[in-house]
Structure 1
Amino acid sequence: MYALLFVILLYLSDGAVDGMFHDFQALHQWYTWKTGLGKTYKDSYEEILRKSIFTANIRLIEEHNYRFHQDLETYTMSPNQFADLTPQEFSALYLSKLHSRLPAGVSQSHLSTAQLKDLPDQVDWRNMGAVTPVKDQGACGSCWAFSTTGAIEGQLKLQRHELTSLSEQQLVDCSWPEGNEGCGGGLMTQAFEHLIQYGSESEAAYPYKAMTSQCKYRKSDVVAMMLGYKKIKEGNETDLMEAVATVGPISVAINADMPGFMFYSHGVYSIKNCSPLYLDHAVLAIGYGILDGQPYWLVKNSWGEDWGMEGYILIAKNANNMCGIASMASYPIL
């Protein structure tokens, strides 16, 4: 508890709370937000801390949105379900370690064959029914499992005309031998390796619990098998564009350890100093397009529909591999 208090005091030391904590509008925002999400805390001490963090985050959001209205930012922010967390807490609870511990097994390289001029200007695989509803990973670093299932769900729809929600919990519980660590992090390629050997159960047969538990895999409940997977050339947005346009939803990883991503609301997410190498969150690229002259990647997240644009985000495209969107891209072969 003392360590948490120390981190929070450091976070609040920039004076963000000064002048706002007792402000009526800030208090109204706090109670409206807390009531709307049904937030409760274990004691008054915890609530005071959370209210202080919330107020600091509100100031951050308002300052950012002011810059947006001055045409200095390309996206807006809003207080979502994470508004009572510090960035450090958010990172620990919702982001993931994306480090490979095993050599690639049956992976292949994606070979670009289409001409850029022949690709469509806009793609959205939701329009083809190849994307399941937005899911919520909860306070578990299992984003890699959701990115994995999302890519396979897309291929099932496109190849077999069946949209089936697949089990992330199977991957969380059972893919440790391939190098994944449940809620502690993992990789989509390592999840693919597991599914090549065992196949994937449905969400209905093996439901999500947002925690690591004992493996309960049952071969009789398998609804999808994999033959292999392909990796897209690291950092190549043109190859990623071709894959998204011609293959379907693609598993990707990004650097999400930024307040702008944490509180993203609308617009094309573009941020300075977003590392294309330090990847800590796995998502699903389901399309691309242009908004107000800005090219974007259409990305499905796994933080529920209350985050972002009903669970989605637009990430700047052709912007020097923004946040590493093309640094770790892959897709399954069924």
Structure 2
Amino acid sequence: MKRLAICYIIVTVAFGVNVVLSSTSTKWYNFKLKYGKRYATHQEEQYRFSVFRKNLQKIAKRNRQYELGLSGHKLGVNKFADLDRFDFGPKTDTAYTQIANNTTHSIFKIPSLAEIPTEIDWRKLGAVTPVQDQGSCSSCWSFAITGALEAQYFLKHNRLVPLSKQNLVDCGKLYARGLNGCNGAGVPVLSYYYIRDYGIESEADYPYEAVERDCRADASKALTRVSDYVMIPANDEEAMKAAVGLVGPISVTIDMRDLYLYQGGIFESDDCLKEVGSGDHAMLIVGYGSDNGVDYWLVKNSFGVDFGEEGYVRMRRGINQCGIATYANYPVL
């Protein structure tokens, strides 16, 4: 009887392992099917499967903490679940940053006696266009810049018009060293100078294609230009709050490496970088508020509505989370 009991335990454990492996394999199959994942070699697929399996463990651990109230955010499987944090990382070239720092622009100052809202959501005020997906093109910078410009155009003309990211992707690289199309690795604010000199077309006239193409800009269709851009003092979240509350949505750059599996809640991580120039992803702050006493930024992303909270991220406010306050700006029409 004792021997049978031992065999029974061994069989049960082995069966449990098979169930786990089967469950992971099924999730892997469904993941590849849903997101159309294809890999060049068997070795690459095996590596990506191992990363996917580690991400499932990471998601499960974080979500247990979330359910216990030990974490403010939860994670989930999305199109990045076969990537790890080392697939993301700072891409901003220091030389480009120096170029941008040497350009002429205004610096934001909190107006005296200004009544800054305790919370604001520019979506509810009509100043924010729908979330889009940048696809495989590293063009987040163009989404952040056009998002800030769309809001200012709305506030000036009372008309919300999606502006052309493709216009910047195709034509910006011909204009300035530091605007690199689908390659990312540039400085978003240099876009303002292109828009100042050549204007920008609407999304309807110059649709987004998620690939770099030859510049096809038509000056006669340029919808608007900018006269200046304003930088928020680095690491000053009170100034950022004032800018968002009084002026409108602002473009920011963050370190993306711990955010890629975000599914909901107020994101907070001790592992992402906060230094100027360390950001690898540009996004748009469209508001701020508090939830159960925790302050957050409401941030529009460009990964589609399946990412995070219907395409948005709430990021912890007041601790320069992932460097969100290091390179914030908005345009002036």
TM-score range, shorter chain: 0.7 to 0.9
Aligned pair in 2 of structure 1 residues 21, 249: CA closer, same or farther (>3 Å)? farther
**Residue in structure 2 matched with residue 333 of structure 1 by the alignment:** 332
Are the equivalent residues in 2 in contact too, given 1:75–1:267 (CA < 8 A)?
yes
Unaligned runs of 5+ in 2: 1-16
2:164 to 164, 167, 186: 167
Are the equivalent residues in 2 in contact too, given 1:131–1:154 (CA < 8 A)?
yes
Are the equivalent residues in 2 in contact too, given 1:105–1:193 (CA < 8 A)?
no
Q: What is the rounded CA distance, in whole Å, between the counterparts of 1:123 and 1:22 in structure 2?
A: 45
Letter in 1 for 2:121: D
**Residue in structure 1 matched with residue 236 of structure 2 by the alignment:** 236
2:127 to 126, 130, 133: 130
User: Across the two proteins, how many residue pairs are aligned to each other?
Assistant: 309
Q: Which aligned pairs between 1:301-312 and structure 2 lie closer than 5 A?
A: 301-312=301-312
Highest Rg: 1 or 2?
2
Are the equivalent residues in 2 in contact too, given 1:96–1:142 (CA < 8 A)?
no
Q: Structure 1-normalised TM-score? A: 0.86
Q: What is the rounded CA distance, in whole Å, between the counterparts of 2:125 and 2:245 in structure 1?
A: 12
**Residue in structure 1 matched with residue 202 of structure 2 by the alignment:** 202
Q: CA deviation at 1:284?
A: 0.3
Q: Which aligned pairs between 1:1-150 and structure 2 lie closer than 5 A?
A: 23-41=21-39, 46-89=44-87, 91=88, 96-97=91-92, 99-103=96-100, 104-115=102-113, 118-150=115-147
Q: Structure 2-normalised TM-score? A: 0.86
Deviation string 1:211-255 (CA, Å, 9 cap, x unpaired) is 222222210121111111111111110110001001111011111
Q: CA deviation at 1:120?
A: 1.7
Unaligned runs of 5+ in 1: 1-18
Q: CA deviation at 1:50?
A: 3.3
Deviation string 1:258-287 (CA, Å, 9 cap, x unpaired) is 2xx010011111111322111111110000
Identity value in percent: 36
**Residue in structure 1 matched with residue 6 of structure 2 by the alignment:** none
Letter in 2 for 1:85: L
Q: What is the rounded CA distance, in whole Å, between the counterparts of 1:33 and 1:54 in structure 2?
A: 9
Are the equivalent residues in 2 in contact too, given 1:102–1:178 (CA < 8 A)?
no
Q: CA deviation at 1:132?
A: 0.6
**Residue in structure 1 matched with residue 193 of structure 2 by the alignment:** 193
Does structure 1 residue 247 correspond to structure 2 residue 242? no
**Residue in structure 1 matched with residue 274 of structure 2 by the alignment:** 276
Q: What is the rounded CA distance, in whole Å, between the counterparts of 1:267 and 1:281 in structure 2?
A: 20
Are the equivalent residues in 2 in contact too, given 1:270–1:322 (CA < 8 A)?
yes
Q: What is the rounded CA distance, in whole Å, between the counterparts of 1:249 and 1:146 in structure 2?
A: 12
